[in-house]
A and B are shown apart, each in its own frame.
Chain A
Amino acid sequence: MPDITIENLTKVYEESGDEIVAVNDVTLTIANGEFVTLVGPSGCGKTTTLRCVAGLNTPTSGTIRFGDRDVTETPVQERNIALLFQDIALYPHMSVQENIAYGLKIAGFSRQERIARVEEAAGLLQITDQLEKMPSELSGGQQQRVALGRSLVRDPEVFLFDEPMSDLDAKLKAELRPVIEKVTDEIGCPTLYVTHDQEEAMTMSDRVAVINDGELEQVAPPKEIYDEPDSEFVSRFIGQPSTQFFDGRIRAVNGTGELVVGDYEYEVDGLGGWNGDEVRVGLRPQHITVNNDTDAGIPATHLLDEPLGDATHSFFETEFGEVIVVTGPDFEGDGKEYGLVFQSDSICLFDTDSGVRIA
């Protein structure tokens, strides 16, 4: 099975005379067997990108190749893809069995072959006892399993997911994630998964592609996206609770640079040659500690705690606005004054204008 190559993909919509650039010059390669997630806020162009790969939308410019085959102009029927829709889109007038077998029926498989393949897929997805039911009799999670089965039996060249779990509750999502991974492993083709849920992106992907305003911000494995974000946007979007930002300034000291945030100085590597520049300081809430001594760090007034059992999310009011800190499970702030201490080796610095990572 081939890889997917997306080259300089651009899609421009025209709406009442205005041109709207939905996707701007996106280039991305998905290797055979690789699971890549396209993640971004709503309206960022991720679904448009996927629909261009599927053949449901035609790109304004750029090419899409499956292996050596240029499919940019190929109709969706001839691309041999599987696509899971956000609204699941089972055929409501067909039974589960007929739904899964529909693609095979069009491809001209014999009745026997169809039944055999459906049963094999149903076994893998644990829906063998649902085959005679109608889609409306199934729960949301079961419906999505049926939709997976529909893709599984056809042995597609490319597997696409368009926010398939956004209508499911958190528990079902967690239950379905391993099923999706099992199915994509079973087929072993390149997979493009579109979601706005950074947790799905982090948990399932080989690589995560963060897209914002139609442009790719960063493509990297989940761990790298989390630890080494390329831009302020990526840092803010990935991770829950999200990265906290502060205004800082770089001061030249002894040939290298020193970060100044409020009244405190931090040593950060790679700041040579910078002096007096304003920067955005990003730090994960896990890398901030709360000290009872208000002089130990940035002064903060405790607002409230959200105990989660294994940890607590504590909200503080500071001169930089509201700051969230992940504290221990027994932490209770009681609205008192604290000092917030940064772990200086985890600090990321971003350009104030472009949002690009500096250090």
Chain B
Amino acid sequence: MSRNEPPGGVFGLSYDDESRVFEALKLLSTVIIVVVGVWPIYWMAQLAVTEYETVEDAVTVVPTPETFTLDNFSVLANPEMYTYMFNTVVVAIGTIVTVVVVSLIAGYGLARLSFPQKENFARILLIGYLFSPIVIGIPLYQIWQSIGLLGTRIGLIIALSALSMPFTVWLMWKYIMTIPEAHEEAAWVDGASRWRGFRDVVVPQCRPAIIAAALFAFALAWNDFTFAQILLPSTETTTFAPGVLRAMSQAQFLPDAHLMAISLVMTLPPLLFAYFMQSYLLKGFQVRAL
């Protein structure tokens, strides 16, 4: 393969040796990724399908026919766990919709309209990233409490959307700038209003950016712990991440194997989402000068 590539000469080796070194390094990095990233997921998966008494008493690496079971997944029928999952799904979908709609409109405004201090406005958006969620979380708790959003899914959706927005607004802004203005002008000439041109011509072309933004917002909302812990304080109505942690501290009611089963179920949607959307995702993140 290295024969076709421009000469590197980093190690002062021949092309063949260099490509062998390269292959070895590639293998090494793969091993590291597998150990750090995949092994815990495997561990979770194999525990999820092992009988929970076995998990409590011994260490198993591979599920055997004697210990294999799907009974652990019965935990999904547990009403508390069901509430956590349902809340997580609602919050994730709500966040995705809010983020996509708001960032499309904000990105369009930044890309197409001129207003004073536009660049500074966009830069200020990024300041949101300077604070860790916990710093914003405490004031939000007080504000949400006084306006009655505390303990509601809407409250959490707004907080999580705000967290995703700096990135997704920038993404949309830069993506919409890659769409020639002439496309919209052609729509206006055809009689379309600005809104209609935006809807019919700009939004359909933004599909890769919309999917990238949606995935970003989804990952953030699905995996969020801090905001959910602070803003949904009641154990009965929280989302999965804080809910499972609270359940763990009451381990006598929830065996580890059941914990692993529900964790596995909650891990699948992001994996599937990322897998099927990866071609769009790459296009969305490919915007130059982002």
Contact = CB atoms under 8 A, between A and B. Distances in A.
Given A93-B205, A102-B200, A76 B189 contact: yes
Given A85-B182, A87-B182, A89-B180, A150 B190 contact: yes
Interface in A36-75: 54, 56, 75
A106 interface: yes
Contact of A87 (B180, B188, B196, B200): B180
Q: Name the 9 nearest CB pairs between A and B, nearest first.
A: A103-B190, A89-B182, A89-B186, A106-B191, A93-B204, A85-B182, A83-B189, A76-B188, A89-B183
B192 A106 contact: yes
Contact of A107 (B191, B193, B204): B191
Contacts of B200: 91, 102
Contacts of B193: 77
A82 interface: yes
Interface string B141-177: 0000000000000000000000000000000000000
B71 interface: no
Contact of A91 (B186, B188, B189, B196): B186
A103 B204 contact: no
A26 interface: no
B90 interface: no
A103 B183 contact: no
B201 interface: yes
Contacts of A87: 180, 182
A91 B201 contact: yes
Contacts of B183: 89, 91-92
A115 interface: no
Query: What is the size category of the interface that chain B forms with chain A?
Result: 10 to 19
Interface string A280-319: 0000000000000000000000000000000000000000
Given A85-B182, A87-B182, A77 B192 contact: yes
B17 interface: no
A106 B185 contact: no
28 contacts: A56-B188, A75-B188, A76-B185, A76-B188, A77-B188, A77-B189, A77-B192, A77-B193, A81-B189, A82-B189, A83-B185, A83-B189, A85-B182, A85-B186, A87-B182, A89-B183, A89-B186, A90-B186, A91-B183, A91-B201, A92-B183, A102-B187, A102-B192, A102-B200, A103-B189, A106-B190, A107-B191, A150-B190
B182 to A, nearest CB: 4
Interface in B117-136: none
A29 to B, nearest CB: 22
B196 A106 contact: yes
A154 B185 contact: no
Contact of B189 (A54, A86, A92, A93): A54
Nearest to B190: A103
Contacts of B188: 56, 75-77
A49 B189 CA distance: 16
B191 A103 contact: yes
Most buried by B among A76, A86, A89: A89
Contacts of B182: 85-87, 89
A177 B211 CA distance: 42
Nearest to B205: A93
Contacts of A82: 189
Contacts of A54: 189
Nearest to A86: B182
A56 B190 contact: no
Interface string B203-237: 01100000000000000000000000000000000
A54 B186 CA distance: 11
Interface string A136-161: 00000000000000100010000000
Interface in A75-113: 75-77, 81-83, 85-87, 89-93, 102-103, 106-107
Contacts of B205: 92-93
Contacts of B190: 102-103, 106, 150, 154
Contact of A89 (B185, B191, B192, B196): B185
Contacts of A75: 188
Nearest to B201: A91
A189 B260 CA distance: 73
A358 B30 CA distance: 82
Contacts of B185: 56, 76, 83, 85, 89
B201 to A, nearest CB: 6
A107 B196 CA distance: 12
A31 to B, nearest CB: 22
A12 B244 CA distance: 65
Contacts of A107: 191
Given A103-B191, A106-B190, A106-B192, 15 more contacts: A76-B188, A77-B191, A77-B193, A81-B189, A85-B182, A85-B186, A90-B186, A91-B200, A91-B201, A102-B187, A102-B190, A107-B191, A150-B190, A154-B190, A154-B191
Interface centre among B180, B185, B186, B196 (most CB of A within 10 A): B186
B186 A83 contact: yes
Nearest to B189: A83
- Of the listed residues B188, B190, B196, B200, the one surrounded by the most CB atoms of chain A closer than 10 A to its CB is B190
Interface in B54-98: none
A107 B180 CA distance: 24
B154 to A, nearest CB: 33
